[in-house]
Structure 1
Amino acid sequence: MPNAIPARPQGEKPRRILFTGGGSAGHVSVNLALIPLLQSQGWNAVYMGSSSGIEKQLIGRLDDVDYYSISTGKLRRYVDLQNVKDPFRVVKGVFQAYRLIRKLRPSVVFSKGGFVSVPVVLGAWLNRVPVIIHESDLTPGLANRIANPFARKVCVTFGETTASIKGNKAVHVGPVVRNELLRGNALKGLQWSKLLPGKPVLLIMGGSLGSKNINEAVRRNLPVLTQTYQIIHLCGKGELDDRCNGVKGYRQYEYVHDELPDIAACSELVISRAGSNSIFEFLALRKPMLLIPLSKSASRGDQLLNAESFRKAGFCEVLQEEELTDDAFLAAISRLYADREGIRARMRERDSGPSAVEAITSLIRENSLRR
């Protein structure tokens, strides 16, 4: 069912909420779900992020949301010359955020995480503005671990995550799913992508930044895959391959926006990374998934835990990136297709519980300042 939002109590004045989060689409998607709903209840929404991150591009598509850029540094786990410069960028970002928040006077800050959120959370804390954090993954990310001591509440998607949050701040709200994704039209998806009804569609997503290994595996195996499937391949910025444009039944795009609900609706199976927001959205849409999580060498291991949780629940097949050979890739897709009805049945049995959006918006109202 679509997310609901409680009405603002009669006589309550509208307030301002400052959103932050970025670096990847996963660190923006929850904000994209909340902003229109809060605006419909009279909240004034503003956003603070980096000057060139994907969050600026995504938020720029929304109406009536002012965007403020600040300096930020990436929180790397590997040796890089930029590690010397980035602490200074973060400190600069804290001062910028502090001054902007002092001017904007929001009633509350909602942070989705990502490295850009740290200066904003610190700037809010210095201004004594309440902060609510959202953590999608099973284990908190580095940015959220840094920010947690300065937050009043931490909303978590997985119930197991509450044990990782200190200070009795964790609130298990469950997954946030964007309303528009639930309204997709399969026929429109086929028409937009110029594919035909009757032959199953395989949707491939490597995340907003794409995945070179997944892209290469798909393209190497196009002659086999297109015998059984039509393919919609969201390959990431700069990852289009013109050599594949003439392949019958294969469509490639860097990224899609408004078309995603219709594309998802017309898809039989999904191949994806294992970012929490995406896989919970596919779960809500009851799409059987082949998950290829980022390896431990390329991440903090959160996607490995997310994928294993879904595998245990029977919602997906999992293929580790280190095992991504052509034979293993094709075999995993075959197993997924063979078990698709069983997977959908297990997805239908899942108790979705109360609306996560309703729980979050209630927390926002309860913990915001009355300006």
Structure 2
Amino acid sequence: MDNPRILLAAGGTGGHVYPAIAIADALREENPDSEILFVGTKNHMEWKAVPKAGYNILNVWISGFHRRFTFKNALFPVKLITSLFQSLKILSDFKPNVVVSCGGYVAGPVGWVAGKKGIPVVIQEQNSFPGVTNRLLAKFAVKIFTAFKEADQYLPKEKTQVTGNPTRSSLKDADREQALESFGFSEDKQVLLVMGGSGGAKTINEAMKANIENLHDEAGLQIIWQCGPRYYDELSTEIDEQKLENLRLLAYLDNMAEAYAVADLVISRAGASSCSELMLTGKPSILVPSPNVAGDHQTQNAKAMVNAGASKMLEDSTMKETMSELVEQLIHDQENLKRMNQAALNLAKPDAAKLIAKEILEIAKSKL
């Protein structure tokens, strides 16, 4: 095959960006001659995550539309028109054979211009309730890859294929002993990994702040707490890490593979990508669905994992009062952790990225 050119548009959160990176890795593995370019925004996480993964990224000036009137909304029409012209230039210069939308606002203008230009658009939708961008682009799509069958009711059924969410296979690569060493942890204490998604989660952080001494001192746990960049400065002044020698408070987790390698139990939001990573790595988890998402899709994601025996669920509004007891009940029960581990692995779709990459390359081939 000649060098297929694939443009990936994804932005805003790790839930959109990491599946896109997983697809890019699989594309490169399937065809090392693939020319891959990302489109994102400078003020979101993709601007660092994508180059770190080894790919080039170009900027489009776009953001979401706020429901109440703000100064940002007044700028929205200007941003939209600018982003359409930027998208046209990127598409004209790069000449992709396929454009892949993994969601986020940035995928909107890029996918729309591609559709109007007759460039094949492929969508990868992570959630049971599709995001607004992917719903808008669905009419242009030649193929839509979903993680949940429930997404079909919001998308053209004849175009959809349930593949699961693409996850980075490198998440399973870390050696546990080396990972423990890199965090400065010992083998003889259980490790709790707490994550609020790439931006952090206020409720999880407040619950952790209220329970940290109990989890650290009384339960005797080693804790990795990823609190998010916007919360880090305040929390790092409020939490005395000198006293809590087995706590690692971090704004962001660069070494996810090592964090998963050491974790005995994970507390996490129930975003589709987080759930897929927990399945892939086989990590027992406590899921706290965010109440602030469209279609309450995180609760649906969490229920699927709870029903399979891979997770337990806590309500966002009550987790401060209930988390310590549940963590202690689970993390010291080795037999139950083993059962949860196997249940998570049984749910995993480790070949999702490969399946999607193969189909994208087939579509690209028809356009070369």
TM-score normalized by the length of structure 2:
0.91
In 1, are the aligned partners of 2:152 and 2:160 still within 8 Å (CA)? Answer: yes
CA distance in 1, matches of 2:179, 2:227: 17
Tell me the residue number matched to 1:253. Answer: 250
Q: 1:78, CA displacement in angstroms?
A: 5.0
CA distance in 2, matches of 1:370, 1:295: 43
In 1, are the aligned partners of 2:193 and 2:267 still within 8 Å (CA)? Answer: yes
Matches within 5 A, 1:89-128: 89-128=79-118
Q: Percent identity?
A: 26
Q: 1:70, CA displacement in angstroms?
A: 1.2
Counterpart pick for 1:30 among 4, 10, 19: 19
Task: Compute the RMSD of aligned alpha carbons.
Answer: 1.9
Matches within 5 A, 1:218-229: 218-226=208-216, 227-228=218-219, 229=221
Tell me the residue number matched to 2:72. Answer: 82
Moved more, 127-136 or 336-345: 336-345
Tell me the residue number matched to 1:169. Answer: 159
- Say whether 1:48 aligns with 2:46: no
Counterpart pick for 1:277 among 269, 273, 278: 273
Q: 1:74, CA displacement in angstroms?
A: 0.7
Cα distance change on mapping 1:204 and 1:352 into 2, 3 Å: closer
Tell me the residue number matched to 1:343. Answer: 340
- Say whether 1:332 aligns with 2:326: yes
- Say whether 1:232 aligns with 2:224: yes
Higher-helix-fraction structure: 2
CA distance in 1, matches of 2:349, 2:213: 43
Runs of 4+ in 1 over 3 A off after TM superposition: 75-81, 351-354
CA distance in 2, matches of 1:75, 1:137: 21
In structure 1, stretches of 5+ residues that fail to align are 1-11
In 2, are the aligned partners of 1:49 and 1:68 still within 8 Å (CA)? Answer: yes
In 1, are the aligned partners of 2:147 and 2:163 still within 8 Å (CA)? Answer: yes
Corresponding residue SS for 2:110? helix
Tell me the residue number matched to 1:358. Answer: 354
Q: 1:126, CA displacement in angstroms?
A: 2.1
Moved more, 351-360 or 218-227: 351-360
Q: How many residues align?
A: 355
Deviations 1:65-115 (A, max 9, x none): 332111112144555442343233123212210122012101101111011
Cα distance change on mapping 1:336 and 1:81 into 2, 3 Å: farther
The letter of the residue matching 1:359 is: L
Q: 1:236, CA displacement in angstroms?
A: 0.8
Deviations 1:176-212 (A, max 9, x none): 2211101121112211111111110000011110112
- Say whether 1:262 aligns with 2:258: yes
Counterpart pick for 2:312 among 287, 310, 317: 317
In structure 2, stretches of 5+ residues that fail to align are none
In 2, are the aligned partners of 1:186 and 1:263 still within 8 Å (CA)? Answer: no
